[in-house]
Chains A and B, each alone.
Chain A
Amino acid sequence: MQESGDIVLSVEGLKVYFRSEDEVARAVDGVDFVVRRRETVCLVGESGCGKTVSALALLGLVPRPPGEIAGGRVRFCGEELLGRDEEAWQAIRGRRIGMVFQEPQTSLNPVFTIGEQLAEPLRVHLSLPEPAIRERSLQLLNDVGIDSPGQRLADYPHQLSGGQRQRVMIAMALACGPELIIADEPTTALDVTVQAQILRLINRLQQSHGMSVLYITHDLGVVSQIADRVYVMYAGGIVETATAEQIFRNARHPYTRGLLESLPSRKKRGRRLYSIPGAVPHPAYKPAGCPFHPRCPQAVGTCRVQVPGMCRFEDTHVARCPVAAGRDAEDGCTQRT
């Protein structure tokens, strides 16, 4: 473990529940992770695993009701974030933590120009005078690779391509020089060639600005292009964490292994693709024990009753599967009930 001064974001036992009349959806159910300085961390999982809800919780954006933070701690640069009032959130959100969302079409306001939208965080958070705002806006557009930025400032979002809009979103996230950027599937709606450019841009900015990036995606191909470390989520919990290299070389959790094996590629031509049987459980009706056990080829008796603990495989490589570790849950694995 590196010293705590290095940690930008630390999340411990985060729980986010959504209540309706007759059920409680435990969308995020005890999630722990850390993001260190100058590090890109990927939160990867399928739809409904709780990755986006986790990100919203970090930003104080979980809609209440029906949502509710049911427990846990979120510390950003040593400060506790949960339980703050809206005003305190606004001092952090957009200023010290930047956000990039999936659909640049819908997250930019169609009735304001790019220039007006870029100016807003600079005016609100940094109280810059107008000439400085324009100068900084041009600089930001330049940083994210938008050509002739002077003309683009007067454009409306619909006049830009999807890739350019996402670049503008990134420029807005960068506007106040944040310590952390949270990016939720920023390239999912883009074409592959544009996606590759945006990923290279994020890598580049992360290094030049010395930021940390929390990148949320379902796409393991994207993970391999951008991540230093990876957390794999399933049914509201972290099931495995390791460096990107360890995940792709030697994934340990049967879910992660299944995901990797089920990826199609031309190298697998002629062979049948592995597919994980069944489907992701509904967050209100998760199976007892390990939530993955009904789909797991390696499940044993205890998996059905006991929530497995995290087992250490290598330094920096931990997975919630005592079976893969060849041990009982009590032996060497921290148990969580």
Chain B
Amino acid sequence: MMPPSENKTDILRIEGLRKHFPIRRGFFQRTVGWVRAVENVSLAVAGGRTLGLVGESGCGKTTVARMILQLLPADGGRILYKGTDICGFSDQQMKPLRREIQIVFQDPYGSLNPRMTVGQTIAEGLRMKGIRERRRAREQIERLLELVGMAPAAVDRYPHEFSGGQRQRIGIARALSVEPSLVICDEPVSALDVSIQAQIINLLKDLQDRLGLSYLFISHDLNVVGYLCHHVAVMYKGQIMEYAPAEEMFENPLHPYTHELLAAVPDPGAGKKPTDETLESERHESTLELPEGCRFQSKCREKNERCRQLGGELAFAGKDHFVRCWKTKPLHLTRPELR
């Protein structure tokens, strides 16, 4: 396994992360198989930067996020936060880190407690930081609301009084209340309307510039990722298929799956695509059984016999650029496969 090159400025490094879920069947719920949801994932988020994690639904993006937050135990690998491996940390050990690593969720409707005012929601974070005195807390809350572009008067109102975009701002203010260094953004703009999306994207960018935040930005929207992220990791069926600086990923994609993703990105103004002569059919495949060798082989346009044996390795393909496809690096053919 070859993780992204080591760098002292990395705030988060993930090495060989693994998560397998058991498939249970029958009366005694015997384990009959395993879903290899995350397999040997390595990533790095540099301080003050944004790493985009992209891939289709069910590819394991959110599972990775939950493992970083220790909401889900990892089955293997290391999660290094500022150099310390936090895998297997107890709740007690995680407590100080929960202030450092925060998350902004996709659904601004489901992620705020409807029975708590905006002020109460944000004050929870402040209490963790040790701010209990009422007047000081109120000052802080108003400052946070201002930071995310909301009027201080919102303090005493309830989530249902706000639109989706405003709720997402409240969610961001809540995350920022503990002054985190790393914010995991799990599809933070997907549920928002176009005109509101731009407001939230600008806000995330401003906050990064002002507070030096690092983001792990999980998204399926390559237009947003291309705009916002410094590095991009493409995930497919639990594995990182390609990792590169954003510019490089868009200019010089190497993995056939990345090619396919980029080709599918809607480009407003590109015009109606001519219909091609051949009808593409969708193959029926089980999500539980993964093929031997490359996990993308069944959908790959360039596959051949070798893909059944090779494809397990993330290989160096240029400066800061890694790809999991033996075709892009014919030299690797002679090397034994590393799993």
Contacts and interface: CB of A to CB of B under 8 A. Distances in A.
Interface of A: 46-47, 143, 145-148, 151-152, 160-164, 167, 191-197, 199-201, 203-204, 207, 218-228, 244-245, 248-249, 258-260, 262-266, 268-269, 272-276, 279-280
8 contacts: A147-B282, A191-B56, A194-B56, A201-B279, A219-B266, A259-B194, A263-B223, A264-B227
A1 B274 CA distance: 26
A268 B198 CA distance: 12
Interface residues of B, number: 48
B222 interface: yes
A280 B223 CA distance: 23
B220 A191 contact: yes
A266 B195 contact: no
Contacts of A273: 198, 201-202, 227
Contacts of B263: 196
B243 to A, nearest CB: 17
A329 B230 CA distance: 48
Contacts of A266: 223, 226-227, 246-247, 250
A223 B273 CA distance: 11
A222 to B, nearest CB: 6
Chain A interface secondary structure, helix, strand, loop or mixed? helix
B244 to A, nearest CB: 13
B223 A264 contact: yes
B273 A260 contact: no
B331 interface: no
B282 A224 contact: no
Contact of B268 (A146, A152, A197, A248): A248
A244 B271 contact: yes
A143 B56 CA distance: 25
B163 interface: yes
Given A221-B265, A262-B195, A192 B222 contact: yes
A47 B266 CA distance: 20
B282 A161 contact: yes
A225 B281 contact: no
B196 A279 contact: yes
Contacts of B199: 275
Interface-centre pick from A164, A193, A268 (highest chain B CB count, 10 A): A193
Nearest to A272: B202
B283 interface: yes
B35 to A, nearest CB: 16
Given A219-B266, A272-B202, A258 B57 contact: no
Contacts of A274: 198
A192 B271 contact: no
Interface string B181-197: 00000000000011111
Given A218-B194, A224-B271, A225-B272, A147 B264 contact: no
A264 B284 contact: no
B269 interface: yes
Contact of B194 (A196, A263, A269): A263
B305 interface: no
Ranked 4 nearest A-B pairs via Cβ: A221-B266, A266-B226, A262-B198, A275-B198
B248 to A, nearest CB: 12
Interface in B163-191: 163, 165-166
Contacts of B269: 224, 248-249
Interface in B243-279: 246-247, 250, 260-261, 263-273, 275-276, 279
B279 A145 contact: yes
A204 B275 contact: yes
